[in-house]
Amino acid sequence: MANNMRYFIGNWKMFGVPKSINIVNKINTFIKSDKKYNRKYRVIITPPYTLLESFSKIFKKKLISIGSQNCYHKDNFSSNTGAVSPYMIKKIKAKYVIVGHSDNRAEGDTEDMLKKKVTFALKNKLKVIFCIGENKKERSNKLTFKTLKKQLSKVLEKKLNKDNIIVAYEPIWSIGTGKIPKSSDLSKTIKFIKKVLSNIFKTKKSIKVLYGGSVDSSNIGQFRSLQEIDGFLIGGASKSSKNFIDIIKNYYR
């Protein structure tokens, strides 16, 4: 196993109540006892907005980082009912924000809106987890690379702080289906994404690219040999401390 840092990011989506802090506490207890932590991997949990401030305060000085699942495409304060800006997220001490998840794209996030979200998030010193991915039709029509290149090039640009950007490749056809790409296909796709990112940012420095889509403790071992993958964005399996911990354990087995 190479010494490259791996990220294990839990996206809780619409899940969690105040007592769900017990899940994160159990994960934190595990990583405190794991000598590989901070040397081999990092853990980020993204709860819903209702838990974001309390979790951020509780874990401010602990090993786990807390992030938001989304942000609005305007900054500071505005008259948009129900919206939460990057500025507001930063002020409650969250450190990360997911932008461009397929759930939000399906609900109307345009590339122009995503570009603003990324820009304002970085302006507020948040680290961005930028999601991309093709749907089943695009995959069937062999449009995966074209789709991913468009999603990256329409939102990211050279002037942005690349050091605070992590890209998460989540094929839409894989999310929640139990289906994952073949290792050979996934390797080619991640390498392609990194090449596109190098061209956008005009750098040879590799930008972190994660995989997401039906990741669980039973299939995590299949990704172990793919050194180009810098970590994982985990959905359903992150809602259980046991499942999440088993993912980490099985990856480093």
Tell me which residue has tokens 């929640």: 176
Structure confidence by residue, pLDDT tens digits, 32-49: 999 888 889 999 999 999
Q: How far is it, in rounded angstroms, from Cα 149 to Cα 86?
A: 26
Respond yes or no: is residue 170 known to be catalytic: yes
> pTM of the predicted model, to two decimals?
0.97
Classify residue 58 as exposed, middle or buried by CB count within 10 Å of its CB (0-12, 13-18, 19+). Answer: middle
Structure confidence by residue, pLDDT tens digits, 88-109: 999 999 999 999 999 999 999 9
4 band by pLDDT with thresholds 50, 70 and 90: confident
132 within some domain: yes
177 within some domain: yes
155 within some domain: yes
Number of domains the chain is built from: 1
Half-sphere exposure of 30 (CA within 13 A, CB side): 18
1 within some domain: no
Catalytic residue among 73, 134, 138, 170: 170
Residue type, 35: K
Mean pLDDT in residue range 50-71: 96
97 within some domain: yes
CATH number of the structural domain spanning residue 68: 3.20.20.70
21 within some domain: yes
Structure confidence by residue, pLDDT tens digits, 14-34: 999 999 999 999 999 999 999
Catalytic residue among 73, 101, 134, 138: 101
199 within some domain: yes
Which pLDDT value is given to residue 86?
98
User: Which 8-state DSSP code applies to residue 219?
Assistant: T
Share the mean pLDDT of the chain. Answer: 96
214 within some domain: yes
The parent domain of residue 239 ranges over: 6-251
CA-wise closest residue to 167 among 185, 146, 181, 153: 153
Respond yes or no: is residue 73 known to be catalytic: no
